[in-house]
Structure 1
């Protein structure tokens, strides 16, 4: 197992970046329609299906990516992410989707995408560049130094599917570009337009005149309501909507430094201990439960992707003894850690993970 790959996974697990649970849930029927074992995929990614249905739930990006990669592994199809993205509809994007749907023109809808994308997932920047008669919609990672290429394909594929739905098939792109290598012919056939791999950017290129294309569901009143709701969600995002993942990231850092106390966690979040305690209580969260979740995620990562001894892993997770770690792992998984490692250990990067996006 390469140190660089382990470092990437640790960076991802220690990031507060998250994806809307509603987005993931909306694509599960499409996964089932493709013959994928949805329950198995969720279990492999350590995702509780009931969580995805909770209003406002933010799925840690680490688990969302694991789910997407597991889907591709089970399907043995490099186009899995693009096929799933074809099912994106307004419901998938929630506030962003309904705000965009109610806009008057495609250009206005793209403005909502740029403004509210973080409410779907908060790892990238979407930019619109105008070049003579062309419009170029680009995406690049912001919070993370890399993302799996499947996630990039899901993002751009979702744009295409949503734009096609909004415009009733009238807003067809001229070309789609990806920075990573891919099967250009197969992707072009699936997306219905030329696709270029090994490009200098992740982008969708279309005729500039399409920005003025009227949309079928234009509703100024609904757009105003969704804009207001979106702005409110953004204003309270970090320490309200995404509080659980912010705390998880702080706890991940704390475990590495040997201090996960309420006081140290609050300091990392630039809050007072009293304020953190209150916000956790208001959100129905427990610092102890969140620490338990982080320990479990880290334990599974270390057992799958490193050759660290069980004693080393126990210390890295803040346990005083290996026996305490073993008892906790049995509680999490129903199995001893040594048995789990024998069956799942030392997994390397899966085909197509790719480098920095």
Structure 2
């Protein structure tokens, strides 16, 4: 049984969100393995869990061979399951304001991806760029079903999206998608994961909200985000490489809005270098990925950003002293 401990700068997810999923599973007749239940229990009382533990949870759901689970979980989630950001969304005067908060503070829920919003000819589009490596379709569908449900909470009326786009193929019956998205135009094999709303619904205001409460929740969200995000440049470097291990030195410096010389100077002051830190992170991620079934040398090479499988094989042998196949045999 793998022991998931949340390390500094490791991607994480809020405890209440994970527990809400587990509670819904019980109602849906889905039973988790004893090992996974024990792992979750070890984090009881903690505010956040390592995202890798939720990866294991979703992977176990994928193995259930019930492709509608993502939609069902998403429809059942309620604002209070999202902690501070849930109350922030509920205190928003309109869907457009709520989405702005979602774009800015979604990492408070989980660091599995990022949201963006775009104006379209027919209204507004919310796009989600995920960083998941397992159970991608299930998780994206749960997120979008929860957005559709949450939009109705924010608006205070039964609004429906104009269109929903998924990059993956259809997983469940069309009736399940129609139920989750209230008859919206649902498309698959799209270029992006996105959900669109009309201008009228985007700006609709029916509920009375307390401006003072909205301000208070925004301040709380800002404080929590500051605590969650890495503070020093070195911490930010490590966090970026954990999420995007393929970044080159040039790309890393650009992402941090510093010059390569400045980046090198800070790394040297911390008794490390780009190469040393990058190799360390790649080794940690490779060992994590090896815990998952179906991972191959080729898939790991692609995940870590190596130009070809042979380049990764050489690096892995340098890290561990063993060939990939020999290491897997133990």
What TM-score results when the alignment is normalised by the length of structure 2? 0.65
The Cα RMSD (Å) is: 4.4
* 3-state secondary structure, aligned to 1:124: strand
Which of residues 174, 185, 188 is equivalent to 2:174?
185
Distance 2:142 2:267 in 1: 34
Q: Which residue in the other structure is 1:159 paired with?
A: 147
**1:137 touches 1:204 (CA, 8 Å); kept in 2?**
yes
What TM-score results when the alignment is normalised by the length of structure 1? 0.61
**Are 1:26 and 2:20 counterparts?**
yes
**1:22 touches 1:52 (CA, 8 Å); kept in 2?**
no
Give per-residue Cα distances to partners, 1:196-222, cap 9 Å, x unaligned: 212232121222111222253622222
Gaps of 5+ in 1: 1-12, 254-266, 275-292, 327-336, 342-357
Gaps of 5+ in 2: 1-6, 246-263, 272-283, 298-312
Distance 1:146 1:299 in 2: 13
**1:184 touches 1:196 (CA, 8 Å); kept in 2?**
no
**1:299 touches 1:317 (CA, 8 Å); kept in 2?**
no
Q: Which residue in the other structure is 2:197 paired with?
A: 206
Q: Which residue in the other structure is 2:30 paired with?
A: 36
Which of residues 145, 154, 161 is equivalent to 1:173?
161
Q: Which residue in the other structure is 2:304 paired with?
A: none
**Are 1:128 and 2:118 counterparts?**
yes
Deviation at 1:184, TM superposition (A): 5.7
Aligned residues: 273
**Are 1:48 and 2:40 counterparts?**
yes
Which of residues 17, 29, 50 is equivalent to 1:59?
50
Deviation at 1:273, TM superposition (A): 6.4
Distance 1:271 1:144 in 2: 32
* 3-state secondary structure, aligned to 1:47: helix
Give per-residue Cα distances to partners, 1:49-108, cap 9 Å, x unaligned: 3415412x1422x3322311312322x211111111112222222121111111112221
Distance 1:298 1:201 in 2: 25
Closer, same or farther: CA 174–38 of 1 in aligned 2, 3 Å: same
**2:10 touches 2:50 (CA, 8 Å); kept in 1?**
no
**Are 1:78 and 2:72 counterparts?**
no
* 3-state secondary structure, aligned to 2:76: coil
